[in-house]
Amino acid sequence: MQNMEYIVETEKPFEQAAADLAAAVSRNQFGVLHVHDLQATLKSKGFDFPNACRIFEVCNPKQAQAVLSRDMSLNMALPCRISVYEDNGTTRIGMISPKAMLSTLSGSAELTQIAEEVETVTRRIIDEAR
């Protein structure tokens, strides 16, 4: 079975890694649809959560259209999510593998090819932000 996660460590402080991730997304023709600040959300609900964590929802419209035109039910797996987070004093950037996720949802060779293309770019985005 393919590894479901791609996670890298960075020496950058959390805020710099988050800013660099946003810039890398744009450079690679993806867009940031939304950023969830998990720490702030939990705090607003009355839970003290010590780890900074931002979840970036990212999308390439061309690839999303290609996936959804073949299988509309895959809308539940979109958009891609890339997280910047602190864990044990280390800043990490990671995602769930688009190819591994899609392989659990569809056996389509066409969709596997699209997922491979998306994964190549999202890994590059993470590596550039590192």
Residues 52-111 pLDDT 10s: 999 999 999 999 999 999 999 999 999 999 999 999 999 999 999 999 998 889 888 999
Other Cβ atoms within 10 Å of 60 Cβ, number = 20
pLDDT tens by residue, 2-56: 589 999 999 999 999 999 999 999 999 999 999 999 999 999 999 999 999 999 9
In terms of phi and psi (left: phi > 0; alpha: psi -120 to 50; beta: otherwise), the region of 76 is: alpha
Third-level CATH fold of 5-129? TATA-Binding Protein (3.30.310)
Q: What's the one-letter identity of residue 5?
A: E
Give the ranges where the chain is alpha helix by DSSP (H). Answer: 14-27, 38-44, 61-70, 98-105, 109-129
- Confidence (pLDDT) at 94: 98
Q: Supply the pTM of this predicted model.
A: 0.93
Query: Is the peptide bond between 13 and the residue preceding it cis, with omega within 30 degrees of 0?
Result: no
